[in-house]
Amino acid sequence: MEQHSRAHGREHNALRPITFQPNIAPNASGSVLVRFGNTQVICAITLEKKLPKWMLREENKTGWLSAEYSMLPYSTLERKQRDISKGKLDGRTVEIQRLIGRSLRAVVDLKALNDYTLWIDCDVLQADGGTRTASISGAYVAASLAFRKLLQTGSLAQNPLKSAVAAVSVGILNNQALLDLDYLEDKDAAVDFNVVMTDSGQFVEIQGSGEESTFSEDQHNALLGLAKSGIRKILQLQQEAIASATF
């Protein structure tokens, strides 16, 4: 069987070059420019002394965490129209920002946020596949930096983070399992997964489907194993970036 030739000679189980550049947005509580290969996303955290109206009716109020995601018009080869100019969010945008929110709420203690809402803004500067997984991985770094700063200023009494979280894509192309798909691989993949996992090895979410194809239980397990190995490496890169960040 002929093996798929990947960009830059990357092996099937290799991540793209991944970097986290902290403090990219000075006015945010915490921010990072995350790069997964040619995919680039700015993730920024803002803490707002305000809760959603539906939470004010709850007996046991906690803080809240919400995410917004957007692809800037110049992030793709052809200009992408802004959602605001269309008058509504497209389905993909809604799906991704909900996924980012769920992923971070899985590792953040909302009670420790008190009466604050934590906003996560993920803006895609350049898209080459894996924007949602890059956004989740970058959002965790930005949140970690924000909580460090907010603890120093006394805005928070305790660190809300319960564990780390990261995400990566995997898929099957030409009958071969691949880690961290770029756009061309993702476009032609027969099977495509997005996997979100914590540093304790617990899955937060697994999104997987066959694209006009099916996959076996063995292929499913192989893809999850590949994703877990990639996420462990991303978790290490996240911690290195957080440790190196200064304020």
Residue-range definition of the domain harbouring residue 12 = 7-244
- Give a yes or no: residue 2 inside a domain: no
Residues lower than pLDDT 50 in the chain: 1-2
DSSP letters along 85-97, please?
HHTS--HHHHHHH
Q: Within a domain: residue 21?
A: yes
CATH number for position 108 = 3.30.230.70
Residue 77 is assigned to a structural domain of this protein: yes
Distance CA(185)–CA(191), nearest Å, equals 10
Per the domain annotation, does 1 fall within a domain? no
Decide if 116 is inside a domain: yes
What pLDDT sits at residue 1?
A: 36
Q: Is residue 70 part of a domain?
A: yes
E strands present in 37-108 = 39-48, 64-71
Q: Is 219 inside a domain boundary? A: yes
The number of domains in the chain is: 1
User: What's the confidence (pLDDT) of residue 127?
Assistant: 96
Q: Is 60 a member of any domain?
A: yes
Separation between Cα atoms, residue 85 and residue 230, nearest integer Å: 37
Q: Which helix (H) or strand (E) holds 54?
A: helix 53-56
Q: What is the pTM of this model?
A: 0.93
- The pLDDT value recorded for residue 121 is 97
